[in-house]
């Protein structure tokens, strides 16, 4: 701060620069302003629109919902809102079922990602420095191809006359194709495959920071390797587990593409309900209410995530 | 427990350790007795930590044997050795309280909770941390953490406690205080300690015996005063404390003393010597700065005496360090206590002085 004050006192900066500073513009505020402006423009304002629509009534017009403010006779506009759309979410069991199903699918996917991702992250963190870069590269490499193409590729692998079924039948191991696609199995394959890197990377970042001396201390005090893992490595990696789980759980909750391409017809996730409400049913207010409800549902895990993040920042 | 007095408690036999092509420890043999506080002293990269890690079981010797209480420990993993270590970084578990850190070792042995609690409390008292049992390591000061690490390593009552630079992370004042505490605790618990340190004054204060290491080898073993007063080589003389080395050549032996022709001194000097020294042999006279007398009057005739000019005086309060230039250009270092207040001290820059010492105040070095 003193340095900035010194700079300000020095002669040199032009008159406009001085003015800018007096108005509160400086290099620092400019840098901080950019992300805030971005969030304001592309997140907060659209969110306000959605919020507004969620409280409107549907109508057959363009746009297909009633206005928030009605200019009646008086000077002040009339605010017209309704809770009907939110109440409707509880009236029709479809929505509750879809929400619960989404929670279940996201939860199970997160658990599978954790069970697969933890050993992988642990292995990479423990690998020699020569190997580590290559192994991390393999985790990140799939991002170089479009997400959509990769999910489509799974259709080719899993379908009736796809790679796996053809191979198994060719070897004579099975007589008729296994039902690998358009069921829960293919849905979990798709989600776990797509989100596994989001579990591995934060876990790796956490595990690689673990001080090797702690494990030596545990061994020195009589803990066998597995006991040392349970009592030292695992508790210290909880922030990584929480971060990875949130990064998988939150997007998996609202996932639309993977269920649409890989899930069975009876598997109803909230993302698909949202899509149908918007595009098939053209009921924008209800669709918006679904979106707001999803957001509120996700705020809880996000808050947990934030708390762990800040706790870890404090600790280090 | 071995009651055999002939067998030392810790025996390191011809141990060599190489990492790839690098020789970290070369043919080290060492014996340590029960209840000793033994220091391994050396500069960084001398292999002292590697030796410690081999005792703990984190590294395996490339060749040679290590016996603890008569048992060859090769192939015994760290978690089964009767040895505990206090790490340089302390390696306290950050997610555990002080109590569970200290009790960790006991929990691995399936000891009853009540007994663990009792022994943890006894340890907390021993290291004077009674009130801090419920804190996490990051809520403690450096000195407190150091004591937690010590308590955690002591609680299993190991046959051997290894301490890797136990005081390096503390500031100077606390370090001096803690040195004495450490010695007190060691005497009370009676466990054999091996301390690795690069700080010679720490090694001398702490240990009953010490080994000086250089480039993977042990160059001298002895009590602190033996190593200080009778260094066996130029390296040890120079590494432990400071020393004036006067290079010369043996002229003849006169009784207990050797007559040395030293060019730097511009004449002949007397130095006490052992047997086995032959005329013509190149030697160095090592004499500590505090063994030299400095004064304006000529010393009695039976002492070595050199004339020189005071070039520098470093006033340190309790003592002053004088740098005296001999006519040959050699600089001699002399320390003298400041018994009188500075105004009354007679020596000043550019004064002509005599440096003198008795022949038995120096050591003759051949290597």
The domain limits of chain B are: 10-238, 242-365
- Is residue A64 included in any domain, yes or no? no
pLDDT digits (tens, 9 = 90+) for B147-201: 999 999 999 999 999 999 998 888 888 888 888 888 998 998 899 999 999 998 8
Q: Is the pLDDT of residue A233 over 90?
A: yes
Q: Is residue A114 part of a domain?
A: yes
Kindly tell me if the per-residue pLDDT of A54 is higher than 50. yes
Q: How far apart are CA A146 and CA A229, in angstroms?
A: 37
Position A316 confidence tier, pLDDT thresholds 50, 70, 90: low
Pairing, β B160-164 against β B83-86: parallel
Residues A12-29: what's their mean pLDDT?
A: 69
- pLDDT for B116 equals 96
In this prediction, residue B349 carries a pLDDT of 87
Please choose, from the candidates B335, B341, B338, the residue with its C-alpha nearest in 3D space to the C-alpha of residue B355: B335
DSSP state of A34: H
- Nearest residue, CB atoms, B108 vs list A214, A222, A315: A222
A150: domain CATH number is 1.10.3720.10
Among A208, A214, A314, A306, which residue's Cα sits nearest to residue B94?
Answer: A214
Fold equal for B10-238 and B242-365: no
Strand partners, B15: B28
Which chain A residues contact residue B138 at CB under 8 A? 315
Average pLDDT, chain A: 87
Q: Is A236 touching B (CB cutoff 8 A)?
A: yes
* Contact indicator for A221, B152 with CB cutoff of 8 Å: yes
Architecture of the domain made up of B242-365:
Beta Barrel (2.40)
Q: A129 in a domain, yes or no?
A: yes
Query: Has residue A277 got a pLDDT over 70?
Result: yes
- The structural architecture, per CATH, of the domain B10-238 is 3-Layer(aba) Sandwich (3.40)
Give contacts of A225 with chain B, Cβ < 8 Å. Answer: 79
Phi, psi of A204 (to 5 degrees): -60, -45
Residues of A in contact with B94 (CB under 8 A): 236, 315
In a domain, A188, yes or no: yes
Nearest Cα to Cα of residue B170 among B181, B156, B155, B160: B181
Give the pLDDT of residue A6.
45
Number of domains in chain A: 1
In tens, the pLDDT along A294-303 reads 888 888 778 8
Give me the mean pLDDT over the B303-309 stretch: 90
Most A CBs within 10 Å, among B91, B123, B155, to test the A interface: B91
Sheet arrangement for strand B209-214: B83-86, B160-164, B192-197, B37-41, B209-214, B217-222
B56 to A220: CB separation less than 8 angstroms, yes or no: yes
ipTM entry: 0.84
Mean pLDDT of all residues in A10-25: 64
> Looking at residue A2, what is its pLDDT?
42
Q: How far is A219 from chain B (nearest CA, A)?
A: 5
B182 dihedral zone (left: phi>0; alpha: psi -120 to 50; beta): alpha
The pLDDT assigned to A264 comes to: 86
Is pLDDT at A218 greater than 70 in this prediction? yes
Tell me, what's the pLDDT at A3? 45
Residue of A nearest to B59 (CA): A216
**Assigned domain for A221 exists:** yes
Residue scoring higher pLDDT (A22 or B156): B156
Task: Provide mean pLDDT across the span A78-94.
Answer: 86
Residue A146 covered by a domain: yes
pLDDT at A137: 94
B229: number of Cβ within 10 Å? 14
Using DSSP's 3-state secondary structure scheme, residue A232 falls into helix
A116 assigned to some structural domain: yes
Nearest CB among A213, A221, A224 relative to B89 is that of A213
Rg for chain A, CA atoms, rounded: 26
What percentage of chain B has pLDDT greater than the value 70? 97
Give yes or no for B105 touching A (CB within 8 A).
yes
Q: Report DSSP state, residue A267.
A: -
């Amino acid at each position: 701060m003193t340095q900035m004050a010194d700079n300000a006192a020095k002669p040199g900066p032009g008159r406009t620069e001085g003015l800018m500073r007096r108005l509160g513009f400086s290099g620092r505020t400019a840098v901080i302003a950019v992300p805030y402006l971005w969030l304001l423009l592309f997140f907060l304002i659209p969110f306000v629109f959605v919020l507004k629509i969620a409280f409107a009534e549907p109508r057959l017009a363009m746009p297909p919902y009633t206005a928030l403010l009605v200019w009646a006779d008086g000077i002040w506009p009339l605010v017209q809102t309704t809770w009907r759309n939110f109440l409707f979410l509880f009236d029709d069991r479809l929505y509750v079922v879809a929400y619960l199903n989404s929670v279940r699918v996201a939860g199970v996917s997160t658990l599978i990602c954790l069970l697969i991702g933890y050993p992988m992250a642990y292995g990479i963190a423990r690998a020699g420095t020569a190997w580590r870069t290559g192994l991390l590269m393999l985790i990140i490499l799939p991002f170089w191809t479009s997400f959509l193409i990769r999910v489509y590729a799974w259709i080719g692998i899993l379908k009736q006359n796809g790679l796996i079924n053809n191979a198994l039948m060719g070897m004579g191991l099975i007589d008729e194709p296994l039902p690998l696609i358009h069921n829960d199995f293919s849905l979990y394959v798709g989600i776990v495959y797509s989100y596994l890197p989001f579990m591995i990377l934060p876990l790796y970042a956490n595990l690689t920071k673990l001080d090797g001396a702690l494990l030596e201390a545990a061994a020195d005090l009589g803990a066998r390797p597995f006991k040392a893992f349970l009592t030292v490595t695992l508790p210290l990696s909880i922030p990584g587990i929480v971060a990875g789980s949130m990064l998988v759980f939150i997007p998996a909750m609202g996932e639309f593409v993977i269920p649409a391409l890989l899930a069975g017809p009876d598997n109803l996730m909230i993302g698909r309900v949202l899509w149908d409400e918007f595009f098939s049913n053209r009921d924008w207010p209800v669709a918006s209410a679904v979106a707001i409800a999803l957001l509120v549902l996700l705020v809880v895990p996000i808050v947990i995530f934030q708390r762990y993040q800040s706790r870890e920042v404090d600790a280090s | 427990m071995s009651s055999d007095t002939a067998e030392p408690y810790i025996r390191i036999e011809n141990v060599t350790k190489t990492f790839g092509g690098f020789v970290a420890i070369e043919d080290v043999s060492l014996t340590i007795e029960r209840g000793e506080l033994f220091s391994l002293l050396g500069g960084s990269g001398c292999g002292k930590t590697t030796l410690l890690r081999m005792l703990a079981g984190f590294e395996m010797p490339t060749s040679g044997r290590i016996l603890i209480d008569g048992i060859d420990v090769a192939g015994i993993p760290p978690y089964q050795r009767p040895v505990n270590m206090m790490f340089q970084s302390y390696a306290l578990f950050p997610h555990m309280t002080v109590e569970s850190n200290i009790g960790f070792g006991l929990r691995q042995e399936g000891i009853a909770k009540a007994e663990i609690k009792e022994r943890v409390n006894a340890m907390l008292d021993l290291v004077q941390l009674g009130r801090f049992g419920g804190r996490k390591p990051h809520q403690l000061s450096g000195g407190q953490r150091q004591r937690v690490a010590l308590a955690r390593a002591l609680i299993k009552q190991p046959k051997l406690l290894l301490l890797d630079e136990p005081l390096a992370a503390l500031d100077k004042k606390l370090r001096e205080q803690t040195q004495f505490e450490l010695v007190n605790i060691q005497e009370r618990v009676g466990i054999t300690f091996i301390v690795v340190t690069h700080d010679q004054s720490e090694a001398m204060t702490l240990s009953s015996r010490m080994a000086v290491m250089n480039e993977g080898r042990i160059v001298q073993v002895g009590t602190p005063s033996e190593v200080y007063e009778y260094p066996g080589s130029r390296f040890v003389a120079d590494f432990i404390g400071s020393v004036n080395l006067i290079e010369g050549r043996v002229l003849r032996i006169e009784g207990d003393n050797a007559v040395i022709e030293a060019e730097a001194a511009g004449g002949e000097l007397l130095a006490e010597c052992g047997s086995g020294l032959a005329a013509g042999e190149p030697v160095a006279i090592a004499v500590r700065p505090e063994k030299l007398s400095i004064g304006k009057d000529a010393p009695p005739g039976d002492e070595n005496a050199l004339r020189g000019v005071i070039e520098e005086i470093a006033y340190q309060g309790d003592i002053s360090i004088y740098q005296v230039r001999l006519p040959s250009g050699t600089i001699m270092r002399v320390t003298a206590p400041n018994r009188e207040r500075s105004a009354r001290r007679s020596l000043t820059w550019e004064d002509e002085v005599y440096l003198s010492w008795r022949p038995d105040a120096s050591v003759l070095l051949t290597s």
